[in-house]
A and B are shown apart, each in its own frame.
Chain A
Amino acid sequence: MLYENLTAGVDQAIKEIGFNVDQQQLEAISQEQDVIKKTELQKQFIDGILKQTRSMSEGGLFNRGKEDTWAFFPKQIMASRRLNCSGATLVIGRILEQAGFKTEHGFAAHHAVSVVELSDGKKYYVDSRRNRDNIVALGQEERSIGNLTYRELDHPRVAYRKIIAVPRQWAEVEVIMGNYNSMRNEVKKHQVGNAAHQEARRLIGEMDSGMSDVDFGLLWDKMFPEILKLHTENTDWSEEEKTVEAKHNFSDQVENAVSEQFADLTQDQRVVITNELTSNSQEILAFCQNLDYSAISDLQGKLSPDAYRVAVIIRDSLESIRGQSQASYEFALEELKAKISQ
């Protein structure tokens, strides 16, 4: 009942935002008889949807502060025209379901994704947050984790190793309740806080006039015991979370440092710096891996002072990760290489 009502809200959001569902692509998929070609067409269709959801998500070196942290429920998705990863799974799951795909909700460590079965019979991890490596086949075998099952994800540039696929009918209700509870907790914990906390306070202020006595924490405990146990009792899952956190440290450090140092830049200035970094990407990569004087002076001669500062942030963050864990360093470097080879 909650799910049906939620789905009606998601439908309204999809319509109001105006997602483009390419009917010609769907027709081509239905006509295709060859399994491999059909699967490729399906991936292209999904990628088209991901491009649209990604355009509503936070992202980019300088975009921190454009808050989409709480865009997980239809009313807020419509109001803000943004999506966090949970909100994106609601939209993606519904669009793909209506297009005839078998879809499930995917729990990844600290992240929400979709799991979609394609014509080749494989289940795929579908990630609304990534520009690339965002549709990846999962392992064939289902393994137990607590009372749930997961499939392995084995990709050198994707941090997640375990994806738990569950029916959207209950996972999406869980996601809404869990997110709302987190939003309340964040407000309690931070008197002032960052832009996300301030946005949470504003939303709670708008909504809690009616919901102040709804105990989302209690209801979440009682309605979703499998997820509670996963977070509180399962050592495999907590290991997965720790590994993913370590792998993301590099990006986190870079983003925090850049957003702190360049808070006052205009959007045009940000675009100029991003272009500068992109067009000198190979030199930056060499600079990050080679700490000798010639690499430093080479890059200093090529970049503006602001772009050079960003390169230094990247290098220092990478070095800091190397100090923590060689595996995390190698992962961060792979990510950096993948990005700058675009």
Chain B
Amino acid sequence: MTEENKLPKKNPAESILPIEDFEPEADLPPEDIEPVQEVSAVELQRQKHRLFEEWSQLSGVVMPRDIDIDKLNDQD
């Protein structure tokens, strides 16, 4: 065994390289952005309902049943 290999083991996650900086961000990258779609108010409302119904698949917590669709998020 070489002298270097007797050194205390360093966590590979703390490599000498700046690896931690370039994790590809999974946020919506520009190339994934499609042109804004024209959609009817009814369809948009239906989509919001569907989002609400399925949101618990992402959060892992059951959503309440007394839904006010216009308060889905603070922006909307």
Question: Which residues does chain A contribute within 8 Å of B52, judged by CB atoms?
Answer: 1-2
Given A74-B58, A223-B76, CB of A182 within 8 Å of CB of B10: no
Question: Which residues does chain A contribute within 8 Å of B13, judged by CB atoms?
Answer: 54-55, 59-60, 63
For B, the interface residue count at a CB cutoff of 8 angstroms equals 56
Contact A60 B11 (CB under 8 A): yes
Grouping DSSP codes into helix (H, G, I), strand (E, B) and loop, the B interface class, with mixed when no group exceeds half, is loop
Say whether A308 faces chain B, with CB atoms less than 8 Å apart: no
Question: Which residues does chain B contribute within 8 Å of A59, judged by CB atoms?
Answer: 13, 15, 19-20, 23
Grouping DSSP codes into helix (H, G, I), strand (E, B) and loop, the A interface class, with mixed when no group exceeds half, is helix
Contact B9 A75 (CB under 8 A): no
Contact B47 A210 (CB under 8 A): no
**Count of CB-CB pairs between chains A and B under 8 Å:** 232
A293-319 interface mask toward B, CB cutoff 8 Å, 1 = contact, 0 = none?
000000000001000000000100000
Question: Which residues does chain B contribute within 8 Å of A152, judged by CB atoms?
Answer: none
Interface size class of A (residues with CB under 8 A): 35 or more
Q: Of B24, B56, B60, B61, which contacts A110 at CB under 8 A? A: B24
B16-37 interface mask toward A, CB cutoff 8 Å, 1 = contact, 0 = none?
1111111111111110111011
Contact A63 B16 (CB under 8 A): no
**Complex: A112 Cα to B28 Cα, angstroms:** 11
Q: What are 5 residue pairs bridging A and B, where the CB atoms are less than 8 Å apart in the complex?
A: A111-B23, A217-B34, A232-B30, A271-B9, A275-B7
The chain B residues found within 8 Å of chain A, CB to CB, are 2, 4-5, 7, 9-30, 32-34, 36-37, 39, 44, 47-48, 50-52, 54-61, 63-64, 67-68, 71-76
